[in-house]
Structure 1
């Protein structure tokens, strides 16, 4: 298989979160085609995406090998800069020093308004955040996750109702969102999952009622003298947490299926 085919494979797999598969493809390409800066960049990005110290070290190794082949490769430099800025400057002072050098070199090579400059601005803005910025970002991230879960609940409920009416569903193919939805419908079928389906169909009402019930139960247990302090009411959140855990499992399952389909297509296309 040619180098460009490995690059395209890495790009497709990275887009759907198949980081392990990207690493496998990049390593296979490097083994077959020899050292290549673009494949080293994909290998580094697939390690860095795991957000783990061991993977970060492997990502740094890949970036440095790539830059040894093409020292002015903007894609490699920006990716390496992002890794350096994300790292703790006290624990990894070498990366902090390299970040300064990389940023200066990128600003020399990348024209204003380019994609690389935008990535640098985003990375430096992220690295320069303070405590309150982190707190605000965490709140915004939590709100975005809740909104995404609410949207997924609506979509899953609609799909479950269509399935109950006997409407046939189209194949999901390599559509990540469709695959996640199909996995959720599959995992929520059956009588035992009926309560979870009900909670997802009336998610807002379920949240409000559960909060009132849990808060009320804790107060009753304390006011009645049964307990001096109670957290038992929070157990009433278990069904909602189980329903949302099902959605997370479905997202992961759908992603795994799409990655497997992409890999199967690649293997079929590139058979000798």
Structure 2
């Protein structure tokens, strides 16, 4: 396999969240072709996205090695800057100092309006957030996640209804959303999962009724004198939590299948 083919594999796998597979592919390319700035960038990004101290150290090592080969590589410079800005300046003061140098160098190399300068603006804006900005961003992120989950519930319900009518499902191929829906249909089939299917089909109503029932049960137990303080009502949330866990499991399973298919396609393309 050629070096560029390793780069393309990394790009495709990164797009579907196959970060471990990206690291494997980048390392394989480096082992076969030797040091390469682009492969070091993909290796660093696949570590940095995990947002873990050990992975951050590996990402920094990859970026620094890549920049030793190509000191003006904008992809490496911007990726390294993003890592430095995200790191705790008290715990990693060296990265904070390097962020200043990296930003200055990028501004020298990248013209205004370029994708690299836009990434720098986004990264510096993120790093300069205040307390209230963090709260607003967290709230917006939570709302976006709720909207995505609600949309997934609707799509899963439609897919389950089609499956119940006996409509044959098409091969999902490398379509991530289709693979996640197919996995959800598999995980929610059977009589034992009928209550979960009902909850997902009426998700908003289920959340409202569960809240009212759990709050009412807690109040009833306290007002009746059975308990001075009650959390038993929260147990009524268990079915909703199980239903949401099924959706998360389906997303993970669908993602794993797409990653496997991409890897299989690349392996088949490059068989001798």
For the aligned pair, the TM-score class normalised by the smaller chain equals over 0.9
TM-aligned CA deviation for residue 174 of structure 1 = 0.2
Q: Residues 112-151 of structure 1: CA distance to partner in whole angstroms, max 9, x if unpaired?
A: 1110001000000000011111111111111100000000
**Does residue 152 of the first structure (1) align with residue 115 of the second (2)?**
no
TM-aligned CA deviation for residue 240 of structure 1 = 0.5
Instruction: Name stretches of at least 5 consecutive residues in structure 2 with no aligned partner.
Output: none
Q: Residues 155-183 of structure 1: CA distance to partner in whole angstroms, max 9, x if unpaired?
A: 00000000000001111000000000000
SS of equivalent residue, structure 1 residue 129 = coil
Q: Residues 165-218 of structure 1: CA distance to partner in whole angstroms, max 9, x if unpaired?
A: 000111100000000000000000000000000000000100000000000000
Q: Residues 86-137 of structure 1: CA distance to partner in whole angstroms, max 9, x if unpaired?
A: 0000000000000000000001110111100010000000000111111111
TM-aligned CA deviation for residue 72 of structure 1 = 0.3
CA distance in 1, matches of 2:120, 2:236: 46
CA distance in 1, matches of 2:144, 2:236: 24
CA distance in 1, matches of 2:5, 2:187: 35
TM-aligned CA deviation for residue 245 of structure 1 = 0.5
CA distance in 1, matches of 2:222, 2:195: 29
SS of equivalent residue, structure 2 residue 60 = helix
CA distance in 1, matches of 2:138, 2:231: 26
TM-aligned CA deviation for residue 226 of structure 1 = 0.6
TM-aligned CA deviation for residue 239 of structure 1 = 0.3
CA distance in 2, matches of 1:185, 1:100: 50
Q: Residues 34-87 of structure 1: CA distance to partner in whole angstroms, max 9, x if unpaired?
A: 100000000000000111100000000000000000000000000000000000
User: TM-score normalised to the size of structure 1?
Assistant: 1.00
CA distance in 1, matches of 2:220, 2:124: 51
SS of equivalent residue, structure 1 residue 168 = coil
**Does residue 105 of the first structure (1) align with residue 105 of the second (2)?**
yes
Instruction: Name stretches of at least 5 consecutive residues in structure 1 with no aligned partner.
Output: none
User: TM-score normalised to the size of structure 2?
Assistant: 1.00
CA distance in 1, matches of 2:145, 2:121: 25
CA distance in 1, matches of 2:205, 2:123: 40
CA distance in 1, matches of 2:6, 2:82: 24
CA distance in 2, matches of 1:185, 1:115: 40
SS of equivalent residue, structure 1 residue 77 = helix
CA distance in 1, matches of 2:137, 2:229: 33
* Aligned residue pairs, count: 272
